[in-house]
Structure 1
């Protein structure tokens, strides 16, 4: 087996035309360079240099090997340059996963900030339900993913690394003609006699609603199962019922709907960034995590007010 380091040294000898000049350039002794060339000749099984008083000349085999050495040196320099580009965020691709409410709220400012700072990195985003995000993480289709959990369904896997980003408290959506629409906040118990609009297809928010209502002593009466929050808002505005929604789902509130911050107890979900533990955090991923943290800090809605309640801004106010 040929030693690559000796091949590179031999290419340097061929380039400079003598062992002495090579030793001087690389801060070696001539004896050390000669020994390495002799060992390379042993590995090659034939002479590579013709030695004479005026220096050395290459044999045909030596000339062929020196050409290979030059190519290896060029490839190594190219590899170093590419790695420097990745480390300096001047190249590469970052693949991340998300889910709809975060994809429409927390993620866009992070994407804008990241692309403004690192325009040469290609960013791809995949959106899916939780099961799909786990599948893409495990198959390495994505490097990391935004996810969520609640108190009763914490992500508890030893093979993942979790970075909490934001607590996302819920709010109540009520029609403007509802008797409590002018309240500044409310509790779930205030709506024990109301009909509810919830999410269809066993959506996590539907489970959060049922668990939370039962915790305060009533069973929610479901009037409609919506497939997205805009559909739910339309029926809230029509007066069919009231609805529970995470704050991050309230990017666009339609006319006829009022948003009431919900006093505890309330089912707060955590917004997380998750990656497989055996997938090291690359410089690119680390930079994007920084952008997400800045976006989360700008949107954080869990600061308590003077009464100890979570402050949920009305999206129509621009706050």
Structure 2
């Protein structure tokens, strides 16, 4: 499982974004949350360095088989019979943030215990496993293929709860609690108001220019410029696309092929905008923090989002 997948609400936290260049619409999504998620400690299984003790002589054959099955299921991170005080001492003494082990508690009844180190504290959880279902802590919780994936998911969840709360509160204050409503409708409402204001300014300027041109015109004047606006814009765009095509061709072959496949896929997703509400700019807002290398403390990704949006829009021409 990728460390980018987080538990519960963490997995739905936005990665980053911004408005179009020169747009009066301010950014809604923030990349700080995604960067905090990446800073979560990585899982570090603590391997058992000792020979597992034999079960007590009074143990039944079923208990012995369960202990052997646990050793096969959890591997070297299974420490056999161990109390919580010994686990805390072992993790606190030799383990760092994210270290964990699996043990059988002396008072357990049909379950094993996951001991996990986070924020200088050791936490203990009942650990269950069902064949064909996976590992889980409670019946209603998510299932995982391995204990490592479960710990990675939990560490991201803990890290986000510890560090992301102030940023979420700050975002709510900046956007006047827009997250209590639909972020999609909030963003589009702002765009519509901004577009209406811009169209009003454009119409007023066009009317003024038309009146001035009517007074200054004479029969000998050329009716249109030698290079009208529309062909000029097309030429500029063609030049930019050619430069972008030359830039991506400088990438290593593996990067070039992977980027081409990714952009063509995103273009197909954007073609269903009427259904999924994800156009090129929205997709660029989501993927810019992961596809484009940026300085560590950079939070304004407006230019990167605009560039990635252009790559998605014109991918067939750029990779032709």
TM bin (shorter chain): under 0.3
Q: What's the TM-score, normalizing by structure 1?
A: 0.20
Name whichever structure is richer in helix by fraction: 2
